[in-house]
Amino acid sequence: MTTDTILPPSCRSLRVAVLGAGLMGAPMARNIAAAGCQVSVWNRSADKASALAAPGITPAADPAEAVLNASVILTMLKDANAIAEVMLALPDADSAPAAPVCWLQMSTVGPADMSWLETLAARKGLTLIDAPVLGTRQPAEAGQLLVLAAGPDSTKEAVQPVLDAVGKATRWLDTAPGMATRLKLALNSWVFALTHGAAESLALARSLGLDPELVADTVRGGPLDTPFFQLKAQAMASGDFTPAFTIDNAVKDSALIVEAALETGVKLDLAEAGLNRYRRVQDQGHGGADMAATFLA
């Protein structure tokens, strides 16, 4: 694999390897295939990859098989450790094909993780694009994610068909990987603050003898309202915590936010308290529930 100048393709000329077929990776793989790309997909739990088998999507037995002849590799895995385990198993640059390959790293990781992922990409002969997404399962299914991207200018046209297939827009930030990850953590901090704020407001209303739905009804359509607030408030009031983004993932991402704050010396009292709330819910056995289950803390 080399990092030569990469020519702009149409999606129909691309072979894309999707590594990770969970809540986000599975719908992303479907949308990439629907756009005309040839997709190979791998997942640690093989049944999740097998369930995606369809015209344009081929399940792979292992990551090396998935990336064979791929011009774009997309990782949507649990965390940095999972990414490292999977990518280290791929051939190094001296034994890999000569065709240029882009690596779209779309999982949420920390800034420190991006530094060694760049080193790993160079070892594997891959051109790394830092491309986390803003959005959960429903936007992923609809191809309406917001992609935050940072990577060499030479890769933009090459990977844009894939990004267009999974997202409603791409925000290119920098030519160096890492800036997109930084912005993703800042945005996640806001998302989690909104979620915890809604949870505490509804929980307080209930404890005072009110119907929690009154909170959402009262702010609906006003300056304090947001579609996200209404969505999560409805889940909290109904007790339907079907996962769009799980508590387990919220714990992981909240910990990344707190860790980044400690490294940079900024005080994030809300983020630290929010991480503790998510951990309490996780300890109650709700790790697989939607992050709106912070209401149960």
Positions marked active-site: 184
Those residues whose C-beta lies under 8 Å from the C-beta of residue 94, and which sit 6 or more positions away, are: none
Q: In whole angstroms, how large is the CA radius of gyration of the chain?
A: 20
Give 208: exposed, middle or buried? Use CB within 10 Å, 0-12, 13-18, 19+: exposed
How many other C-beta atoms are found inside a 10 Å radius of the C-beta of residue 216?
21
Structure tokens at 2: 């080399």
For residues 159 and 177, what is the distance between their CA atoms, to the nearest angstrom?
15
- CA distances to 108, 191, 241, 258, 285 from 265, rounded to whole Å, are 21, 21, 35, 10, 33
Those residues whose C-beta lies under 8 Å from the C-beta of residue 97, and which sit 6 or more positions away, are: 1, 69
Contact between 288 and 232 (Cβ < 8 Å):
no
